[in-house]
Amino acid sequence: MHCDDAARALYAGENPSDLELHLSACDECRHLSDDLAQMNSAFALARVKWVPSPSFRVALPIAPWRRLAIAASLLVIPLAGWAAASVWSTRPNYDVASVLEPRATAEQTDRELLGALFLGEGQE
């Protein structure tokens, strides 16, 4: 076997029958074989050792419809709060019943009753 053929076989990872014989007689090709074996060990190590850290996570982007839903809910919450606050602030701070039917709630004194009956007070 010629050195070129041996080198070609070694680089291609092939093992023809006469390669061993050639390597036993050729220092140059044996060095090449040893180096490639070491390189292969390094590749095997890389396969095992090159892994992402345990904290590695792929954060996928949020789908457009979900983004819309989040935006909508972010809008709805303050709007609802504003609506509730405005309803609260427009509530009267007096008793509505006393305005609508003041007579129904306030007890008339005798003087008022007499005045209404005989003197016509409180009728205008």
Partner 1 sequence: MTEPELIRRSKGGSREAFGQLVSRYQVPVYRVVRGILGSPSESEDVAQEVFLKAYANLAKFRGESGFFTWLYRIAVNEALRARKRRAFANADDLPEVEAPPPPPAEEDAPTLATLEKLLRKLSDEFRSIVVLRDIEGMSYSDIAETLEIPIGTVESRLFRARQELRMLWRKSKEAKNAL
Residues numbered 52-91 forming contacts with partner 1, rule: CB under 8 A: 52-53, 56, 58-61, 63
Report the distance separating Cα 111 and Cα 2, nearest Å: 139
- In the bound complex, what is the minimum distance in angstroms from residue 13's beta carbon to partner 1? 9
Segment near partner 1 (CB under 8 A), from 17-25, 27-35, 87-95, 109-117? 27-35
Segment near partner 1 (CB under 8 A), from 40-48, 73-81, 89-97, 108-116? 40-48
In terms of Cα–Cα distance, which of 29, 36, 39, 25 is closest to 7?
29
Q: Tell me the C-alpha to C-alpha distance, in Å, between residue 121 and each of 100, 105, 106, 110.
A: 21, 20, 17, 13
Residue 111 tokens, joined: 């003087």
Report the distance separating Cα 124 and Cα 121, nearest Å: 8
Residue closer to partner 1 (CB basis): 8 or 81 = 8
Site residues for partner 1 per CB under 8 A: 8, 11-12, 31-32, 35-36, 38-43, 45-47, 49-53, 56, 58-61, 63
